Amino acid sequence: MSVRAENGRGDCGAGERGYGAVVGSDATATDDESRQEPEPAVLRKGFALVLTAEEITNRLTAAAHVPDDGDRASVA
C-alpha cells in the first residue's frame, strides 16, 4: 500500500470512507527524507495504525493462531 498526504490531512480520503490501514513505520521508502517521519505521524492521527514490521508480523502471527468455529471444542 502506498499512502501519501495528498489532501493535507494525511488520509487521502480513506478515513472519511471508513477505511483503516496499517502502515509500517520501518518498512517504508521515500524520495524525500524530510517527510519520512512527518507522514506516518499525520497518518497516525488520521486513520492509520502505524507499527514496526516486527509488530505487524507478531499481530498477523497471533491472528493466524485464532481457532475458527471448526476448531473449537463443543460444550455440551
Write the secondary structure of the chain as one string of H (helix), E (strand) and C (coil): CCCCCCCCCCCCCCCCCCCCEEEECCCCCCCCHHHCCHHHHHHHHHCEEEECHHHHHHHHHHHHCCCCHHHCCCCC
pLDDT per residue, tens digit, the chain (76 aa), is: 444 444 444 445 666 777 778 888 888 888 888 877 788 888 888 778 999 999 999 999 988 877 666 555 545 4
Backbone angles phi, psi at 20, to 5 degrees: -120, 165
Q: Using an 8 Å Cβ cutoff, are 54 and 62 in contact? A: no
pTM of the model: 0.57
Give me the residues paired with residue 51 across strands: 24
